[in-house]
Structure 1
Amino acid sequence: MKYSLLGQTGVRVSKIALGTATFGVAPGAEEAERVVGAALELGINFVDTADVYGNMPVFDRPGAKPAAEREPAEQILGRALRGRRDEMVIATKSNGIVGLGVNDRGLSRRHIITQVEKSLRRLQTDYIDLYYAHDIDPDTRPEQTLEVYDDLIRQGKIRYVGLSNHPAWQVTRALWIADDRRLASAPVAAQVKYNLIDRAAERELAPACEQFGLSIIPYAPLHGGLLADLAVLDREVSGDERFGAPGFSEAEVSVAREVDRLSREWGLSPYQVALTWLLSRPAVASVIVGPETVDELRANATAADVLLDTKQLDALTALAIEPPAFHHRAGEGPLKPTSADAIV
């Protein structure tokens, strides 16, 4: 396994991160614990979870226990890491709907403190390494959210802060607020859907993260399994159908077929090629895979050791359905911040 720095924290995380969104469904609880154990054996030291993962109705599928009978993914993870917690950098999140009450979501002081305490209990730990704002909360000023994160950092309950599914301008605004108020909660990472097919993150988020030293942590790096193996098309549930959304479009399948062709030409597997390409992109530190079995995890982990040359990477980049709207003129790259730079 190879490792990258997480933002400017000095913490090193494995280039392959373990995702737990469907823990308790696929893999089931017992298999999920084996997946966690296999991750540690493979040198994977970065795991991603959230307060809403695992036991939400949106994850229901034939053959799995109904949501009301499933454990939260955090609880499964906490049990699997018992006695080995310090070997893993744990990232979790809040802002998803966790109940029927009007205040059972959001990024308010009230909700964040409640959810941090619940996550700590489920994870069987006294600290969280990386805590994300899961999504945007238009009803709460970011100053309040960053200030409660700052309080939690000073209390030792969380170590670092990240933003998930936030556009570049909000990431930049959060950095400005933290700098202006001298808060310890300046974001160090941005989590976003990003893969060879879905490259929207490259328009503004990636250049902003590269400019200000944040790491990008992509989820869905294999586009719901489509970039892993075309056999996924034969599954009863695949892609975003796992989360109650539509399946794959013809254009997406067309790109995946070309990735499959190129990977075979190069003597590699499609998942190795897709993950290696993503790890080569600016600011990307680690990619979150969501294996349903130990074998899938072991296969995905091999991508950390694959090297593609410039010609191969360029051939893959050219497959994008829609080229990024943001680009630099030939020969130019993003400016590197200096210690004297102010975020304005």
Structure 2
Amino acid sequence: MKYSVLGPSGIRVSQICLGSATFGVAPTSQEADEVVGAALDLGVTFFDTANVYGSAPTFDRPGHPPAAQRESAEEILGRALEGRRDEVVLATKSGERRVGAGAGLSRRHIIGQVEQSLRRLRTDHIDVYYGHFPDPHTPLEQTLAVYDDLIRQGKTRYAALSNHPAWQMTEALWIADDRRLVSTPVAAQVQYSLLHRGPEAELVPACSRFGISIVPFAPLHGGLLADLSVLEREISGDQRYGGAGFSAQEIAVARALDGLAREWGLEMQQVSLAWLLSRPAVASMIVGAETAEEMRANASAAEVELSAEQLEAVSALTENRPA
């Protein structure tokens, strides 16, 4: 495993981060323990979750208990990390609605959610605390002020933003500097992959300029950039969340990528993840895994170094696609 410094935080995180969005569904609670254990054994030190993961209706699947009857991902992850909490950098989020709870990034909602997250995670502090989505009803000044309070109280260590556009990330830096806050965002979490390069237009240059780390989620684009066998599944890609699934253009890119990987003697997911790790400002990538075997396969990408020619060949597959 290789490690990177997360923005201006000074902390080192593994370049592969284990995400827990579907913990409790796939993998199940028991399987999640095995996945987390495998990740720790592989040197993964960065774990990502959120107050709504696992227990949100979005992740309902046939044959599994409905959201209200499931353990949350935070509960599952907190239990799996028990006894090894000090070995990892733990990130969670607030801002989205839980069953019976409010949503948003106001002082009221954040304070209420951080206490619940601490309880579910079985910890006294959260290392990286993200604002999950922009809140159009709450001034960013208020959000950063409460993050500042939480850091000074020792309940969180660093602030970060997820799914925020470049202009809001820049505004957050201005506010933190102007008000001398310790809640300067250290990372930007965003969907980013070979098939989703929109962040390269503004967010990547902004984060590169100001020393903020980018932590991509969905780096394998629903599994399409990992293994073409995903196309054989009855439900694939964003169809899990009511979307349209993979487009013909996306499938064509994936087939071309698979051809390059075979030519180079590598696995498809290794090429996809190694390419993304080479992009400016990217410090770590959030990967999901349903089994320990998938965890090991994804983690192996951190050891792969593509040549300049190989990186150029991968980039060329989607360089002219609209953002």
Amino acid at match of 1:47: F
Trace 1:55-204 onto structure 2 (pairs within 5 A): 55-100=55-100, 104-204=102-202
SS at the partner of 2:93?
strand
Deviation, 1:65, is 2.1
Amino acid at match of 2:180: R
Residues 68, 99 of structure 2: 8 Å contact kept: no
Question: TM-score normalized by structure 2?
Answer: 0.98
Pick from 240, 245, 248: which aligns with 2:246? 248
Residues 170, 206 of structure 2: 8 Å contact kept: yes
Q: Distance in 2 between matches of 1:68 and 1:15?
A: 34
Deviation, 1:237, is 2.5
Deviation, 1:158, is 0.4
SS at the partner of 1:135?
coil
Amino acid at match of 1:191: Q
Pick from 261, 264, 267: which aligns with 1:266? 264
Pick from 283, 296, 313: which aligns with 2:311? 313
Pick from 206, 227, 234: which aligns with 2:204? 206
Q: 1:202-236 CA deviation, whole Å, 9 max, x = no partner?
A: 00000000000000000000000000000001112
Question: TM-score normalized by structure 1?
Answer: 0.92
Q: 1:107-128 CA deviation, whole Å, 9 max, x = no partner?
A: 0000000000000000000000
Deviation, 1:57, is 1.1
Residues 142, 174 of structure 1: 8 Å contact kept: yes
**Partner of residue 329, structure 1:** none
Residues 251, 321 of structure 1: 8 Å contact kept: no
Q: 1:157-214 CA deviation, whole Å, 9 max, x = no partner?
A: 0000111000000000000000000000010000000000100010000000000000
Aligned-pair Cα RMSD in Å:
1.1
Q: Which runs of 5+ in 1 are unaligned?
A: 326-344
Amino acid at match of 2:62: P
Residues 107, 140 of structure 1: 8 Å contact kept: yes
**Partner of residue 35, structure 2:** 35
Q: Distance in 2 between matches of 1:210 and 1:323?
A: 22
**Partner of residue 334, structure 1:** none
Trace 1:233-244 onto structure 2 (pairs within 5 A): 233-244=231-242
Q: Distance in 2 between matches of 1:22 and 1:244?
A: 15
Q: Distance in 1 between matches of 2:255 and 2:63?
A: 30
Residues 59, 244 of structure 1: 8 Å contact kept: no
Deviation, 1:321, is 6.2
Q: Distance in 1 between matches of 2:158 and 2:93?
A: 12
Q: 1:272-303 CA deviation, whole Å, 9 max, x = no partner?
A: 00000000000000000011111001000000
Task: Give the % identical residues.
Answer: 67
SS at the partner of 2:104?
coil
Q: Distance in 2 between matches of 1:283 and 1:232?
A: 29
Deviation, 1:69, is 1.6
Greater percentage in helix: 2
Residues 24, 73 of structure 2: 8 Å contact kept: yes
Pick closer, same or farther for the CA change 1:61–1:222 going to 2, 3 Å.
Answer: same
Deviation, 1:99, is 3.0
Deviation, 1:61, is 1.4
Tell me the number of residue pairs that the alignment of Structure 1 and Structure 2 aligns.
Answer: 323
**Partner of residue 50, structure 1:** 50
Amino acid at match of 1:249: S
Q: Distance in 1 between matches of 2:84 and 2:163?
A: 30
Q: 1:130-154 CA deviation, whole Å, 9 max, x = no partner?
A: 0000000000000000000000000
Q: Distance in 2 between matches of 1:280 and 1:291?
A: 22
Q: Distance in 2 between matches of 1:324 and 1:163?
A: 25
Pick from 299, 302, 313: which aligns with 1:301? 299
Amino acid at match of 1:87: E
Amino acid at match of 1:36: V
SS at the partner of 2:294?
helix
4+ residue runs of structure 1 moved beyond 6 angstroms?
A: none
Q: Distance in 1 between matches of 2:41 and 2:103?
A: 36
Amino acid at match of 2:122: Q
SS at the partner of 2:259?
helix
Q: Distance in 1 between matches of 2:221 and 2:94?
A: 23
Q: Distance in 2 between matches of 1:239 and 1:185?
A: 35
Deviation, 1:242, is 2.5
SS at the partner of 2:221?
coil
Residues 203, 324 of structure 1: 8 Å contact kept: no
Q: Distance in 1 between matches of 2:32 and 2:44?
A: 15
Q: Distance in 2 between matches of 1:45 and 1:244?
A: 32
Deviation, 1:80, is 0.4
